[in-house]
Amino acid sequence: MDLSEDCNLQPFLCRIFLCMYLVTVLGNMLIILAVTSDSHLHTHMCFFLCNLSLVDMGFTSTMVPKMIVDILTHSTAISYAGCLTQMSMFVLFGCMNDFLLTAMAYDRFVAICHSLHCQVIMNPRHCGFLVSVSLWASLLDALLQNLMILQVTCFTGVEIANFFCDPSQILNLTSSDTFSSDIFTYIVAIMYGFLPMPGSLFSYYKTVSSILRIPSPGGRYKAFSTCGSHLTVACLFYGTGIGVCLSSVFSGSAGKGGWPPWCILWSPPC
């Protein structure tokens, strides 16, 4: 199954996704180039922004190029190794995006609520530590997901009702009894999804509360302008993430009723 069975519409969809992908990659590359080339932008917030741009490029590259190739070749097959790689990269960059947004929310909290000590608290060593924690925690999540998948040595002719190797659906293929995989999915989702989100919400709650106590309207506007863009990005990320999770649940139930699959996994015979 492609995004559309209309042959006349598929080239249009291919161009749309290609343009969106190029805009995403070039936009993030311009952000990184601007920050690294201008010494005035060598701040802790821009440091997090550069890392977020790198992660965003990696996250987009895990799915969109394969989707474009599938549309051009009218093939939705993916190898076993390719599926595991795509799933690992999806989990890695998705978790890093989540943790980096939480670190940026904490950065704005320190900048607004503890402005006099901001440079001391958010020193380069501390910023590097936060990015390192994000990386290693995301690698651990990807490793745990792979260990669950590798309980099954191979898949042959398995169908997934999604346009990429969704970890939740792949885990359900490891056993006929999906209870253990569901419990594992929920635990990982709580640890890596819902724990960083309250941290971001608490940081912005304290930040907004401090901003509202500023007596000058100009001061409040200036303070809001420093965190408004990041708050918008966080809302888009968490909103689309929740949307993907819900669509995955519904697509899984729809697939049981005969909805045509998106991906077919092939591996060598067991």
State which amino acid sits at residue 7.
Answer: C
* pLDDT tens-place string over residues 165-179: 777 777 766 555 556
* pLDDT tens-place string over residues 199-216: 778 888 888 888 888 787
> What confidence score (pLDDT) does residue 254 get?
45
> How far is the C-alpha of 47 from the C-alpha of 116, rounded, in Å?
20
Bridge partners of 159, per DSSP, are 264
Q: What is the pTM of this model?
A: 0.78
* pLDDT tens-place string over residues 32-70: 999 889 888 788 888 888 999 999 999 889 888 888 888
For residue 45, which of 105, 114, 95 has the smallest C-alpha distance?
105
Burial of 203 (0-12, 13-18, 19+ CB in 10 A): buried
Decide: 270 and 156 in contact? Cβ < 8 Å: yes
> How far is the C-alpha of 155 from the C-alpha of 270, rounded, in Å?
8
φ and ψ of 234, to 5 deg: -65, -40
Q: What is the pLDDT along the chain (270 residues), one digit of tens a residue?
A: 445 555 667 778 788 888 989 998 999 999 899 988 988 878 888 888 899 999 999 988 988 888 888 888 777 777 777 888 888 898 899 889 888 888 888 888 888 888 788 888 888 899 999 999 999 988 988 888 887 777 665 566 667 766 777 777 777 665 555 566 667 667 776 776 667 777 778 888 888 888 888 787 777 777 777 776 677 777 777 777 666 666 655 554 444 443 334 454 544 444
> What confidence score (pLDDT) does residue 117 get?
83
Mean model confidence pLDDT for the chain: 76
Decide: 3 and 76 in contact? Cβ < 8 Å: no
